[in-house]
Amino acid sequence: MPIDRSLGRNVQFYDARSPGDALGGLIQNGSVTEANFLDMLGILVITETPIRVQERGTGHIITTANTRLEAGHYDVYCDSQIHVNNEAWVNRLISHNVSGRDGAFMTGIRARDGRCVISGLVNSRTRIARGNWTSFEAAHIFPLEKENTVWIPGNFDRWITDMEDRTGGSKINSLQNGMLLREDIHTMFDQYLISVNPDDSYKVVVFDEDIHGLDGRVLDPVCRDRNDPHRVSDELLRWHFRQCVFANMRGAGEPIFEHDFSSGDMIGVISREKYGKERLEMEVAARLRGFVNV
């Protein structure tokens, strides 16, 4: 049964014309500022005129100040109609075992980062010398399984600058589309439960309950050195953050998909989920990717 992202929200926002129906919300763990909140609303709502956001209980008007956003109910005022952005959300797999992952991608990400760039956990020199990368995984920012359906049609190659153009191919396995993450954080990243905001000093934002104490950390500089041609792409980080806003803050949010299947009933569980058909197709395509061009 998919998990409901809306449970536990301590921030809700509404169209002031319909104060009884929430447009969406979020779980505030402490790192989201008022300025961040306005930027997120800029992603989520479409209007023809500027908005004014006011906390319902206190009357406090949200500004672009970098002060912590307080939990509460927020009304969005606007002289024009407010529409919720219906841009499609990019569903993705938990990608630990996606077939066709590029060995050079994994090796390059390990060499560049050497640590989980979100938690700061460093792999020791002794472990590296032994080739032991247990608990560390090279994660794609943009999902590998969406290469043919979204990446190529959307011309995401334009954000990759460390690989030459290849006729008939793509640059999805560029190091600029990857980071080394702790295994559990990789799962959270694939589930759009944690992200990095490149427009706020690379701040880490946790969109779920922050049980690991990661909210508010800063992405490790090792993967974003301006002098490194293989540095992580700001545009792809920005894309992932935008997907997290859609997944977690719009309406009731998108489902968090089960990843630990009991009694081997993976197909049965997935088939009963929202997006079940799409997820099954992605699972099959991901497993065939290393063998055929799907």
pLDDT in tens, 255-276: 887 554 445 555 555 555 555 5
Residue 101 dihedral angles phi and psi, to the nearest 5° = -65, 140
pLDDT for res 267:
52
- Consecutive 10-residue averages of pLDDT for the chain (294 residues): 85 96 97 98 97 97 97 98 95 64 89 98 97 97 94 96 77 97 97 98 98 98 97 98 98 78 52 55 54 46
The residue extents of the domains of the chain are 11-84, 95-239
Dihedral sign for Cα 84, 88, 94, 95, please. Answer: negative
Q: What does the DSSP assignment read for 251-277? A: TT-PPBPP-S-STT-HHHHHHTSTTHH
- Work out the angle between the directed axes of helices 234-249 and 34-44 (0-180°, nearest 10): 80
pLDDT for res 266:
53
With 0-12 / 13-18 / 19 or more C-beta atoms within 10 angstroms meaning exposed / middle / buried, residue 177 is: buried
pLDDT for res 292:
47
From CA 252, how far away is CA 215, in angstroms rounded?
22
pLDDT tens digits along 14-50: 999 999 999 999 999 999 999 999 999 999 999 999 9
CA atoms within 13 A on the CB side of 36: 26
From CA 193, how far away is CA 215, in angstroms rounded?
11
Share the mean pLDDT of the chain: 89
Pairing of strands 72-78, 11-15: parallel
Residue 184 has which token pair? 């559990």
pLDDT for res 93:
78
pLDDT for res 130:
96
